[in-house]
Structure 1
Amino acid sequence: MSGTLHVVGVRHHSPACARLVEAVLARIDPAVVLIEGPSDWNVKMAELARGHTPPIAIFTHYLTEDGPASSFTPFCAFSPEWVALRWAFAHGKTVRFCDLPSWSKAFVGVQNRYRDEDDRYERAIEALCRRTGTSDLDALWDHLFEGRSPEELEPALEAYFQQIRGDAEAGERDAPREAFMRDYASWALTRGDVVLVCGGYHAPALASITPGGPEPVSPTPPLGGQSHLVPWTYARMDAFAGYQAGMPSPMWWELEWNLGAGVAEAMLDRSLEALRKNTQRPTVADHIAVRTGIGALAALRGHETPKRVDVLDGLLSALIREPLPGPPPWSRRGIVTGDLHPTLATLLRTFTGDRVGRLSAETERPPLLREVHETLDRLGLSPPRNPQTVSLDWRIEGDRERLRVLHRLRLLEIPGFVRLHGPAWGTDARMAEAFKLVWRPDQDPAIIEASRWGSTLEGAVSLLLSHRLLAAESLAARVDALGDAAFVGLTKLAGEILDLVANAVATTPSFSALGPAIEKLLGLWRHGEWLEVVGAPLFSPVLRAAGERSLSLLAGIQGTDLLPADLTAMRSLAELLRHGEALDLPPDDTRAVLARRVADRAAPAMLRGAALGAIWYLDTEAAPVDSAIDGALSASSEGRLGDYLAGLFALARGPALRDDRLIGAVDAALGKLDDNAFLVALPALRLAFSWFPPGERARIGALLAARWGKRPDASWIGDVPADVLQSGLVLDARVLSWGRALGVLE
């Protein structure tokens, strides 16, 4: 027995199309209902028949050469596809999704199956917009079709989709999809009458089909290919947030689906109430102006009842009196970016709605979701409805397991698990952490979506970090991945990451880039006991390579200036060299490199000072104070005294405090500078002495006071002649003015 095929071309998430589908199904009473959707889900179709509350979505994920990929097939109460599904379930009809799975080549790069692909018929849409005086596809669709009866809509849509498709052949993406749909329709026709619900662009290509053939087999899923149901939200569905599958302002369309012509009044009431709650209180006059404006705009545009843009434009014109930087978001398609006027932002949120879908309690849960819930329950970390702060300590065995789980959820970006504070790396003395836990409606969907990384919590985080490593181009990114691997307890992966870090260290062309990496690696190696990586043998080769590479790059630095990042790297290198013996770094070789830099007058003054400071840092008796005095005097003759001291004191402050000859030499050199030379040297001098904490600065002040024959407190200032104090105030004013002009002072 063969039947008749009835193709219903629709726009996804259109209430008018949903009503049309409902009417056609009631009129035809088909034996089979075919719906554009992922055919791999057909074996789990009974899952969709459960008592879900839309919006919900089919979430599909799979692995590619570039990492995990995913796609969504979303449904809301007013989606034509959802209406077709519910009708088929209610009437005991055979129902199938008749499109290729989301992992097929036709969907490469597509995150939302039910997106509007208006780029395929852009010219036709632009022509229709010009003829109707509408701004974009959304306004055009609303103007032409929403609110019409199914009897009026069916021929109008047929003509519309025929016009936008025209004589165009299916492209590379559409051809295999439409061929698969035709095969499904051919099979279904052998069972009786068929209603096929699909995107309107495909409808003209499915008009004439001959019955026959077996039911098509959905292509085999690739590695990691799975599909699950997830709750969805209007916030994620709204086109203004980037979802290009159809209708913006989903709350408007929900009300239109439920209330029909009463949607404008209901949406207006919601908008005014939302404004009142946000302290943007419309007056009685505003209410009158809004209603008058909406009615006038609807009449001017030929609408029997106000459309969405009529209500939005009416609210805008009556309530926002300030000029806007551009046209309102609903006048064009695309994501809303930038700051919005508060009233405009409230209106858009209200039109979007806060609807969150809910899955039936009997819905099959993916393995990752089950594991996360079981683990959180076992560890006492299940998020409560009201925010709760949990304080944990890495030194406590039970807390360590809890912290690793929380860090795994953090890396997977699961909402409701917010890290408030804690150690960044092993160098941090704090071993306590605090997380804020709170239940959120988007929590389970996020966990389900994290399944694209793996079906277990450890596996998902491991693949995520591995993917980050593949994409990491910098040494810093690889070291950060190593730190995350340590926090989540993936020591095996940490070893693999270290190999990549070692390769990056060996090829890094920048001395400054090695500084942060050395600091973090050394911190984990020395202090990461609570992360169970302290003293790990696998760190030693990487740290040794970092030391050798740093010394090699240090030997080649020339010029007059040293970047602040280079000075930071110098400090990290000195700390690393303190452990040179444990890392098999020959001390004589490292000291020779530093000594050559100290003696090299072609090297930046700050580098010369830092190299001497590093020698002192490694061995306080390795160089006499006279060498620092000679270096300071040489730098002063170059006009670089401040630079030299900044480098020296960044690495070693002790000699300046133990022997007043260095401070005396600096004081004498500064006394020979004229005002302009002093002003030039001042920023670097400020940096140099900023390395001393307040107590040590007080000791330096006492040394200077003794040198000047003054008392080591502030009482002697009263003995200074007034003209000297006045000169000092003038100089201070010049310094401040100069700093503001350069933008270094506010």
Structure 2
Amino acid sequence: MTDRPLLLGVRHHGPGSARSVRAALEAHRPAVVLVEGPPEADDIVSLAADPAMSPPVALLAHAVNDSGRSAFWPLAAFSPEWVAIRWALDHDVPVRFVDLPAAHSLAPRDEAAPGAADAPAPESEGAPAADADGAEEPAGNDTAADPADPADHRLRRDPLAALAAAAGHDDPERWWEDVVEHRAGGDDPVAPFAAVEEAMTELRAAGPATGDDRDLVREAHMRLRLREAVKEFGAGSVAVVCGAWHVPALRERRTVAADRALLRGLPKVRTEITWVPWTHRRLGRAHGYGAGIESPGWYGHLYSAADRPVARWMTKVAGLLRDEGVPISSAHVIEAVRLAETLAAMRGRPLAGLGETIDAVRAVMCDGADVPLDLVVDRLVVGDVLGEVPDSAPAVPLQRDLTAQQRRLRLKPEAEERALDLDLRKDNDAARSRLLYRLRLLGVPWATPAGGTSTGTFRESWRLAWEPELAVRVAESGIWGTTVESAAAARARADADAADSLAALTTLAELCLLAGLGEALPTVMGALADRAALDTDVAGLAAALPALVRSARYGDVRSTGTEELTRVAHGLAERVCVGLPAACTGLDDDGAAAMRHHVESTHAAIALLDEDGLRDRWRGTLRRLARRDTVPAVLRGRAARFLLDEGVLAEDEADRLIGLELSPAVPPARAAGWIEGFLAGGGLLLVHDERLLGLIDAWLAAVPADSFTDVLPLLRRSFGSFEPGVRRSVGELVRRSPGAETGGSATAPTPGFGDRTDPERADAALPVLRLLLGPEFPGHDAARAVPPATEHPSPADDPIGAPA
């Protein structure tokens, strides 16, 4: 081998290949190491030796003028390429990348250009290339082939399957584990590479040749870089680490002119490249990576475990299950190891592999259950290990500012999803909230709002999970500014100019307030005012109102000015009050359901504005909705319920309205729709208002049999939304009603409940409520003093303690 380059054909992300590469490099001590990868990374490869660099990491290349056109080259600790890079850096040996430059692979395809037919290009313009198995598709992978692919493509995409089939195995993954990953070291460290090269040579010879294979272009560039290294260092001093599929092509004798002809005329773009953190989970096939593996966590363990890998693995599994509350003892570990080794012997395998360990864990530690086993697979077999890159790695200014803020606010990016609760009264938490909202404005979804139980305006809940692709999003957002704040403000202004709906503008205004982007708010508010003045769609106005009111109501929590927001919100609310009755006329079922949502959100928004004149106008609008026959029944019922809850619907008027809607002259389906709208606010009203329950019960008992099946779905939807306790209480009241035994219905009050509101009994609770709720409760000054205990009436005289 001293008169030829040392070609080490590997399987990407294979721990067995990684160990063999290290052994071969130690034995031959080359003067230069060539690695499959983009040559633009030659200037930053030295960062791999930085103590702050921790795999898994990836090389990220992107077009300068189109950051969305990008590609990743992931490397884990057990990747042969990473091992080769670290060996070279540790021994002061030059490292060079020899694959096709990213400047060509990321360029848009130009069919008219010479050589364009052979030029590799991303799968779709603007989409990640390598991560989607596009421009930089690693070789020697075991991705499942598509039966619709031509024969040469199937062979190219899955050469291991062909080798496994030739060896009589139906599982390429298991075959590769047996012959490579579990192979003990031999006397000649180069022997396995020679065997793989011979096998790949036969496979390539058996496959049909194609003139448009992009590999031809990549391999031509590899040969040119190899010739340069041989001329500089000598053939015997050069080592090449690349996908096993490419090794025969690098041995092939081709003229320099022929290789240069393949590269002539390739499209080219200006690119930037850097290191970014990666995760074990992103190495998996499930995420679309062409050279993905099913078990990165398991492979990492095989590479790091110097001896007794199965026993050490079972110990990890036992620790995980113990942390999750599963009772696991050392006896479980011993028995699981024995079972895994026994299964391997029965199956004729040199060492217990992943299949045997999974079977042993399921049987011994999980008692045959799949739920704890799924946890083991997710946490250990795949894993969420997140790599780190040093601060000295090249990055766009926006990324540097984001990194500095993450460090200052103690928001470390983590691959595993975690919850974050913020108290906006604290300066650090308020700054965290602003950062997360600014990133959402930039389209970097590192955090998503999580629904919480707290209704306070000073609390926020988030779910955080950092994905490697977010580095691309940050790079894309670099066109908006050099800091997160300036970039978010510029993006907000651009979005305001491009917004096509009033709701989009109000949402954008709310985000600007939440993100603390005061400099962008005037632009957004100007666009919002212009759009609101011209918009005549009542549904659009109603959809835009809630976000605007929330911003105006709660902006003071973040010390932001809201006067302009309040003014615009009042204008929108006024226009909704005027136009809503006409907009609700003649709607079909789908339109009525959508408009009901708008009515509910508008009602809540106007309540937050807390302006008496506006609330009075809104109540007038609700009265018109409740009484207009052309309005769908569900909307009339909803409006009536709002009026009843507001206390502006007198009891006699409510009785008359309910009686009219549930009279025998009203079609059952229409009456059921009214009940659905009326009861949508909750069924507790039926528990405390015996009159209403009696009316609905009487109406339901009078529904004709041929119409009952038509109204039943509406009734089930209405009553099914009640809390279980409310449903039980309503059922108990109906059971105890005077007409229950005879199957009839009656409106007489049930024992234990009054038929009307008793103001005297209600007033008896006011002093305690005023004392509890404080000065904001109406009439507080008139009832500060609580009568002394000696003056309390006896239970027999006390209207609160008296029997109902």
* TM-score using structure 2 length: 0.62
Distance 1:312 1:131, change over 3 A: farther
Equivalence for 2:358: 312
Alpha-carbon distance in 1 for matches of 2:516, 2:407? 20
Equivalence for 1:453: 477
Alpha-carbon distance in 1 for matches of 2:161, 2:366? 29
Equivalence for 2:274: 228
Equivalence for 2:192: 153
Secondary structure class of the residue paired with 2:242: strand
Unaligned ranges ≥5, structure 2: 109-120, 146-153, 682-688, 723-732, 747-804
Distance 1:137 1:171, change over 3 A: farther
After superposition, the C-alpha distances for 1:512-537 in whole angstroms (9 at most, x for unaligned) are x8754432234435664554354247
For residues 91-170 of structure 1, the aligned pairs below 5 Å read 91-99=91-99, 100-101=101-102, 103-104=106-107, 106-108=121-123, 109-110=128-129, 112=131, 116=141, 118=143, 119=145, 120-121=154-155, 125-130=160-165, 132=167, 134=169, 136-146=171-181, 147=183, 149=186, 150-165=189-204, 166-169=207-210
Query: Which amino acid in structure 2 is aligned with residue 302 of structure 1?
Result: G
Distance 1:360 1:187, change over 3 A: same
Equivalence for 2:239: 195
Unaligned ranges ≥5, structure 1: 325-339, 652-662, 692-716, 733-746
C-alpha contact 1:61 1:71 (8 A) present in aligned 2: yes
Deviation at 1:57, TM superposition (A): 1.7
Alpha-carbon distance in 2 for matches of 1:138, 1:501? 62
After superposition, the C-alpha distances for 1:270-301 in whole angstroms (9 at most, x for unaligned) are 33444445444456775565344333333344
The alignment of Structure 1 onto Structure 2 pairs a total of residues equal to 652
1:12 maps to 2:12: yes
For residues 249-288 of structure 1, the aligned pairs below 5 Å read 249-259=295-305, 262-281=308-327, 286=332
Equivalence for 2:786: none
Distance 1:467 1:294, change over 3 A: farther
Distance 1:421 1:70, change over 3 A: farther
Q: CA RMSD in A?
A: 6.0
Equivalence for 1:178: 219
Equivalence for 2:584: 554
After superposition, the C-alpha distances for 1:79-111 in whole angstroms (9 at most, x for unaligned) are 211122123323433322222327445344335
After superposition, the C-alpha distances for 1:427-474 in whole angstroms (9 at most, x for unaligned) are x8x542356899x9x699967974443352135546887999999999
1:724 maps to 2:738: yes
For residues 505-584 of structure 1, the aligned pairs below 5 Å read 511=539, 515-524=542-551, 528=555, 530-536=559-565, 553-558=583-588, 563-572=592-601
Distance 1:541 1:7, change over 3 A: farther
Query: Which amino acid in structure 1 is aligned with residue 9 of structure 2?
Result: G
Deviation at 1:168, TM superposition (A): 4.1
Deviation at 1:158, TM superposition (A): 1.0
Structure 1 stretch displaced more, 168-177 or 199-208:
168-177
Distance 1:164 1:676, change over 3 A: farther
Equivalence for 1:299: 345
C-alpha contact 2:676 2:714 (8 A) present in aligned 1: no
After superposition, the C-alpha distances for 1:677-718 in whole angstroms (9 at most, x for unaligned) are 399799879979x99xxxxxxxxxxxxxxxxxxxxxxxxx9x
C-alpha contact 1:56 1:359 (8 A) present in aligned 2: no
C-alpha contact 2:625 2:636 (8 A) present in aligned 1: yes
Secondary structure class of the residue paired with 1:13: coil
Alpha-carbon distance in 1 for matches of 2:473, 2:494? 16
Secondary structure class of the residue paired with 2:34: strand
Distance 1:30 1:575, change over 3 A: closer
For residues 254-653 of structure 1, the aligned pairs below 5 Å read 254-259=300-305, 262-281=308-327, 286=332, 289-322=335-368, 340-346=370-376, 349-352=379-382, 355-360=385-390, 363=393, 367-372=397-402, 374-375=404-405, 391-393=423-425, 403-408=433-438, 412-414=444-446, 430-433=456-459, 450-454=474-478, 455-458=482-485, 461=488, 480=507, 482-490=509-517, 495=523, 511=539, 515-524=542-551, 528=555, 530-536=559-565, 553-558=583-588, 563-572=592-601, 601-608=629-636, 629=656, 633=660, 636=663, 637-638=665-666, 639=668, 640=670, 643-644=673-674
Deviation at 1:13, TM superposition (A): 1.6
Alpha-carbon distance in 1 for matches of 2:469, 2:303? 26
C-alpha contact 1:161 1:200 (8 A) present in aligned 2: yes
Deviation at 1:11, TM superposition (A): 0.8
Structure 1 stretch displaced more, 444-453 or 70-79:
444-453
* TM-score using structure 1 length: 0.67
C-alpha contact 1:298 1:305 (8 A) present in aligned 2: yes
After superposition, the C-alpha distances for 1:28-68 in whole angstroms (9 at most, x for unaligned) are 55444221112222232332332355314235264799983
Structure 1 stretch displaced more, 9-18 or 535-544:
535-544
Alpha-carbon distance in 2 for matches of 1:264, 1:648? 64
Alpha-carbon distance in 2 for matches of 1:665, 1:299? 78
C-alpha contact 2:57 2:279 (8 A) present in aligned 1: no
